Amino acid sequence: MAEELMDYDEAVSRFDPVIGLEVHVELSTHTKIFDGAPVTFGAEPNTNITPVSLGLPGSLPVVNEKVVEYAAKLGLALDAEIAEYSTFARKNYFYPDLDKAYQISQSEYPLIIGGHLDVDLPDGSTYRFPIEHAHIEEDAGKNTHVGGSDGRIQGAKYSLVDYNRAGVPLVEIVSEPATGVGAYAPDIAGAYVRSIRDLVRALGVSEGRMERGNIRADVNVSLRESPDAPLGTRTETKNVNSFRGIESTIRFEIQRQAAILARGGEILQETRHYEEDGTTSPGRVKSDADDYRYFPEPDLVPLTPSRQWVESLRDSLPELPRARRHRLQEEWKLSDAQMRDIVNAGALDLIEQTVEAGASPAGARKWWMGDIARFVNEHELTLEQAPVTVADVVELDGLIQSGKLNDKLARQALAGVLAGEGTPAQVAAARGLEIVQDDGELERLVEEAISANPKVADKLAAGNMKAAGAIVGYVMKATHGKADGAHIQELIAKHFGL
Ligand code: ADP
Ligand code: MG
């Protein structure tokens, strides 16, 4: 069914979008949240299980202390409050991936209360994304529906269930409705979830790999007539597991809802599915009366984290990604746009390591973001997979700094490194790339160039250094590019006593 859509720009000029995100983060503990079953990726189905993760009658859950610690760290990094009293609750529903027919979660007394995350936007401004609470819970198993057209249960011939994921610890970060986002709604949501990914990685509490489902988001979107109108009816698109998916869900829902509202229609409060083509399709109609019959989990005692423990966790937090980015941007004297390009290219860690290993910040950035980035794009690799090391880039930068290579020769040396010919110095030696540093030879070439270009020589004699280009070009050609342009300029100036 083709949906009627309003043009995006028109939609955001006529309506005020509001977004809310429920972000599930899988924690990287070695064992599950309530039992000792291992958490490993890619294990044979139904091998990482115990009676507890299967929810067999008589089995009893015990809280994994690491889960509380990781969640609390994340909460502190989100500037949230760590509750003094927090309880578990049973969320009841039936589905084959949840064989005990309830999920152990938190409801009334979550561990993490409030908080916010500041995200940097493409235009250089900052949006403070408001967080309502975050709670810990167990993941469910994984259903695989076989034989249908799109992997859904509808039309499937049979379904398989793998309980390896049942009981994997999750933190669900539930945002407040984010207002004032305007046309930037998709970008803000994307930046928010990216920031969560960077944060959990920096904290070491999750691998944060979207492609493995470590982070999944439920995306709520509503529109209202104006920023002072009450919130409109929202839709909730479930389990979106890519940044592009989050951004396109919001864009699409804004366009779809705007078209409905503009013709006087009503938005159904429903859950929707994200489609790979960037659209959403209807799921089930949801009402606020949805009742999971939450009740206190009788098998688990409340969590009462001591203030002393919370403060010691706070002291143990590493430098957070945003603070680090801002510090490095200042240290490396980069513009916002330059820094953003580095972050988007995934080059921040490599450039930092290269600078720490002795390269100039400008050199490190230039090579990783220039020729190496082009090479990996062409070969569909990541920068980490490039056949060049941090040490190679440091060496290359050193060869330029010491005047042994000019920019052009350095690029040839790097090309050799990328072709597997050795380190930059080895390639330079083998290919005979080093700059002519013999001043006697260079002065001779400068004089040769001057006599071959009498008009240029006249201008130079009259003090016009702008004319030096022709002489530099002559010497460059004669040395097959193996000279340092700035140094030739110096020799010319010296020749004319300038
Ligand atoms: P539920 O209990 O159905 O999950 P919540 O009230 O907890 O609903 O809200 C879920 C998410 O939806 C939260 O992130 C919240 O910020 C967001 N949300 C609530 N109302 C709206 C709205 N009108 N527009 C956009 N997002 C909303
Ligand atoms: Mg919800």
Band of pLDDT at residue 288, cut at 50, 70 and 90: low
Band of pLDDT at residue 290, cut at 50, 70 and 90: low
State residue 436's pLDDT score: 76
Higher pLDDT, 133 or 406: 133
**Ligand 1 neighbourhood includes 18 CB (under 6 angstroms):** yes
**Ligand 1 neighbourhood includes 320 CB (under 6 angstroms):** no
- Alpha carbon of 484 to ligand 2 centroid (Å): 64
User: In the predicted model, is pLDDT for residue 462 greater than 90?
Assistant: no
Sheet strands side by side (includes 89-92): 102-105, 89-92, 295-296
Q: Which residues pair with 273 in a beta bridge?
A: 238, 281
Indicate which residue's Cα is closest to atom 13 of ligand 1.
20
Residue with the two structure tokens 């006249």: 458
Length of the chain: 498
Q: How many H-runs (helices) and E-runs (strands) does the chain carry?
A: 17, 15
**Ligand 1 neighbourhood includes 223 CB (under 6 angstroms):** no
Residue range 225-254: mean pLDDT, rounded: 96
State residue 151's pLDDT score: 76
**Ligand 1 neighbourhood includes 39 CB (under 6 angstroms):** no
Distance CA 457, CA 38 (A): 79
List the single range of 135-139, 180-184, 363-367, 471-475 with lowest mean pLDDT: 471-475
DSSP string, 225-271: SSTTSPP---EEEEEE-SHHHHHHHHHHHHHHHHHHHHTT-----EE
Question: pTM for the full model?
Answer: 0.84
Taking the alpha carbons at both ends of the chain, their separation in whole angstroms is 77
Q: Are 173 and 2 in contact (CB under 8 A)?
A: no
**Ligand 1 neighbourhood includes 215 CB (under 6 angstroms):** no
Q: Are 152 and 186 in contact (CB under 8 A)?
A: no
Mutate which of 93, 105, 175, 234 for ligand 1 pocket (most atoms within 8 A of beta carbon): 234
State residue 186's pLDDT score: 97
State residue 486's pLDDT score: 84
Q: In the structure encoding, which two tokens stand for residue 137, read together?
A: 């819970």
**Ligand 1 neighbourhood includes 99 CB (under 6 angstroms):** no
State residue 433's pLDDT score: 84
Distance CA 186, CA 121 (A): 11
The pair phi, psi for residue 19, each rounded to 5°, is -125, 150
List the single range of 66-80, 313-327, 379-393, 460-474 with lowest mean pLDDT: 460-474
Ligand located closest to 173 CA: 1
Ligand located closest to 105 CA: 2
Indicate which residue's Cα is closest to atom 5 of ligand 1.
174
Distance CA 344, CA 254 (A): 26
Residue with the two structure tokens 């924690």: 27
Ligand located closest to 288 CA: 1
Ligand located closest to 16 CA: 1
For 29-38, the pLDDT digits (tens) are: 999 999 999 9
- Alpha carbon of 178 to ligand 1 centroid (Å): 10
Mutate which of 22, 91, 284 for ligand 1 pocket (most atoms within 8 A of beta carbon): 22
Indicate which residue's Cα is closest to atom 3 of ligand 1.
288
Mutate which of 174, 179, 237 for ligand 1 pocket (most atoms within 8 A of beta carbon): 174
**Ligand 1 neighbourhood includes 185 CB (under 6 angstroms):** no
**Ligand 1 neighbourhood includes 69 CB (under 6 angstroms):** no
**Ligand 1 neighbourhood includes 21 CB (under 6 angstroms):** yes
Checking 360-366 for CB contacts under 8 A at 24+ apart, the result is 360/397, 360/401, 361/331, 361/332, 361/333, 361/334, 362/332, 363/393, 363/396, 363/397, 363/400, 363/401, 364/393, 364/397, 365/332, 365/334, 365/338
Residue 203 CB neighbours (<10 A): 19
State residue 1's pLDDT score: 55
Q: Which amino acid, residue 41?
A: F
Residue with the two structure tokens 């130079």: 460
CA atoms within 13 A on the CB side of 242: 9
**Ligand 1 neighbourhood includes 174 CB (under 6 angstroms):** yes
Per-residue b or e along 83-119, where b marks 16 or more CB atoms closer than 10 Å to that residue's CB: beebbbbbbeeeeebbbbebbbbbbebbbbbebebeb
Tell me the average pLDDT of the chain. Answer: 93
DSSP string, 303-345: B---HHHHHHHHHHPPPPHHHHHHHHHHHTT--HHHHHHHHHT
- Alpha carbon of 498 to ligand 2 centroid (Å): 75
Q: In the structure encoding, which two tokens stand for residue 459, read together?
A: 């201008």
Per-residue b or e along 414-441, where b marks 16 or more CB atoms closer than 10 Å to that residue's CB: bebbbeeeebbbebbeeeebbbbeeeee
State residue 289's pLDDT score: 56
List the single range of 144-148, 256-260, 417-421 with lowest mean pLDDT: 144-148
**Ligand 1 neighbourhood includes 189 CB (under 6 angstroms):** no
The SS3 call for residue 186 is helix
User: In the predicted model, is pLDDT for residue 399 greater than 80?
Assistant: yes
- Alpha carbon of 85 to ligand 2 centroid (Å): 22
Atom of ligand 1 nearest to the CA of 233: 23
State residue 445's pLDDT score: 87
User: In the predicted model, is pLDDT for residue 425 greater than 70?
Assistant: yes
**Ligand 1 neighbourhood includes 22 CB (under 6 angstroms):** yes
